[in-house]
Amino acid sequence: MRIANYIDGVFVEPQNGRYIDNIDPSTGKIYGEIPKSTEADVTHAVGSAKKAFPSWSQLSASKRSSYLLKLADELDEKLEYFAKAESKDNGKPLSLAKKVDIPRAIDNFRFFATAILHEKSEIHDMGISGFNYTLRRPLGVVACISPWNLPLYLFTWKIAPALAAGNTVVAKPSEITPATAFILSELIDKVGFPKGVINIIHGKGEDAGQPLVSHSDVSLISFTGGTTTGEKINRIAAANFKKISLELGGKNPNVIFSDCDFDKMIQTTVRSSFSNQGQICLCGSRILVESNLYTRFLKAFIQETKKLKIGPPMDPKSDLGSIVSKDHKEKILSYVELAKKEGGKVEFGGESITLEGEYSGGFYMSPTIISRLDMSCRTNQEEIFGPVVTVMPFSSENEAIQLANNSRYGLAATVWTNDLKKAHRIADNIAAGIIWINSWLVRDLRTPFGGVKESGVGREGGYESLRFFTEPKNVYVDLK
């Protein structure tokens, strides 16, 4: 697969003619090429988006909606094809891509295509003296930058509301997983979006992402990725007064009380720990268990984790596929070594796995459970972003809250208890943007999504996204 940039409605090579290898993580083999785009390509893309903005922003909401709905229908028809491409590019089980990633990308388009039809303006009436009305207008050219863990899911989470609100877009998917954004550009072309409304640039963060967020004609940045990258982008945005939303890393606590529904909790905790090889920003990586349940929990958790099958992503029997890259696998395994040095006990896993035959060069590892660490160690403070969890006991509600909040991150948390009042109390006291009580990863696209502390700035989702991708303008009319 030779990937091309999509600029001004045309598939183009990078101007420098250079490419990066695209690696299939399930085999470790090169299977394609990705443009190594630079500032010249970004300038071309931003210029085309700028040219397209006046007419796109002036189209009626229903016309913009119909383009997005057509794109959703096309994607729906090719769900299986996209799921296979996502699984090959990322290493995630095909079953997960089919059930979660691609359906959610379709939902993103449908949700924002229809949400825009129900938008209305606000009026603040001042009686007989006058009134205010508030217009919400698109900003212009916006930059959407997404990571590799949920490639099309997060790419569309940004471009769908940006386009629905009337902006034109330059989007950059992760260079580690560019395939589905590329094949989406083929569908965008087929649907016939006006030229320049959506431009997709491929390449590395420093070569293509940085010039994009720095470009003077880009007025808004929507970024999902690591906290260190987010900090860098935030500095650029601040110096240039750009509107910004940052969805960053996490180290989410999973707080388990002994009065929970044990079987449901165990099944869900296995998922919240190891789905997508633990490479979901919302995975619960610090498991806190009430001390009177600790031994029973650990035994059952290990027993259920042992049942997970690690295998080729395309095999329907695989629960875990491969880690996204060799570098990332090495980083995760280095944290297992660190945990041991810090006094942790590997209760299960912690190993690199080599499959047979054509998959022998793939990047596989076992799900890993570590105990006996306290909250201050690096293993518990730094984001690992892999199939590694730590398990710690707590003896009171207050201690659970303290441990949960002992982190520089604050993205999500999960609470397990059948005591309704306690559940609400804990939810209220944990510093995080998203809390699940007796569940995990239940997503309603209308709800605000994002984190606190170093997990991000701002919220996207539902009307939060439509507000973020528009600028309010208040107009006062004097009647006196």
Residues interacting with ligand NAD, by CB under 6 A? Answer: 145-149, 154, 172, 174-175, 204-206, 209-210, 213, 224-226, 229, 232-233, 247-250, 281, 383, 385, 411, 451, 456
- Amino acid letter, residue 62: S
Closest by alpha carbon to 401, among 435, 442, 378, 370?
435
Shortest separation between residue 417's beta carbon and ligand NAD, angstroms: 26
Among 241, 312, 20, 282, residue whose Cα is nearest residue 153: 282
| Chain centroid offset of residue 181 CA | 14
- Residue 86 or 247 having the CB closest to ligand NAD: 247
CA separation for the pair 135, 141 (Å, rounded) = 19
User: Contact at 8 Å (CB) between 426 and 200?
Assistant: no
| Structure tokens given for 242 | 């750009």
Encoded tokens for 428: 């209220």
247 noted as active-site residue = yes
Q: Report the nearest approach of ligand NAD to the CB of residue 407 (Å).
A: 13
Q: Give the length of the chain.
A: 480
Dihedrals phi, psi of 50, to nearest 5 degrees = -65, -40
Q: Please say whether the beta carbons of 8 and 199 come within 8 A.
A: yes
Query: Closer to ligand NAD at the Cβ: 64 or 328?
Result: 328
56 is written with which tokens? 């796109």
Minimum distance, C-beta of residue 126 to ligand NAD, in the bound complex (Å) = 40
Between 179 and 260, name the residue whose CB sits nearer to ligand NAD: 179
Q: Which is nearer to ligand NAD, 232 or 243 (CB)?
A: 232
Strands (DSSP E) found in 250-321: 252-256, 284-290
Minimal distance, residue 450 CB to ligand NAD, in Å? 7
Tokens matching residue 93 = 């089980």
Nearer to ligand NAD, 101 or 247 (CB): 247
Q: Which of 144, 260, 281, 283 is catalytic?
A: 281
CB of 446 to ligand NAD, least distance (A): 17
Which one of 86, 144, 175, 247 is the catalytic residue? 247
Min. distance of Cβ 337 from ligand NAD in angstroms? 20
Q: What is the distance between the alpha carbons of residues 445 and 459, in angstroms, rounded to a whole number?
A: 12
C-beta of 244 vs 293, nearer to ligand NAD: 244
Contacts of 198 (CB under 8 A, 6+ apart): 6, 159, 163, 168, 169, 171, 185, 188
281 carries an active-site annotation: yes
- In this structure, what are the phi and psi dihedrals at residue 386, rounded to the nearest 5 degrees? -155, -175
Tokens representing 302 are 């290990």
Burial class (CB in 10 A: 0-12, 13-18, 19+), 284: buried
| Residue found by looking up tokens 């207050």 in the block | 398
Q: Which is nearer to ligand NAD, 223 or 416 (CB)?
A: 223
- Nearest-approach distance from CB 308 to ligand NAD, in angstroms: 22
Residues acting as catalytic residues: 247, 281
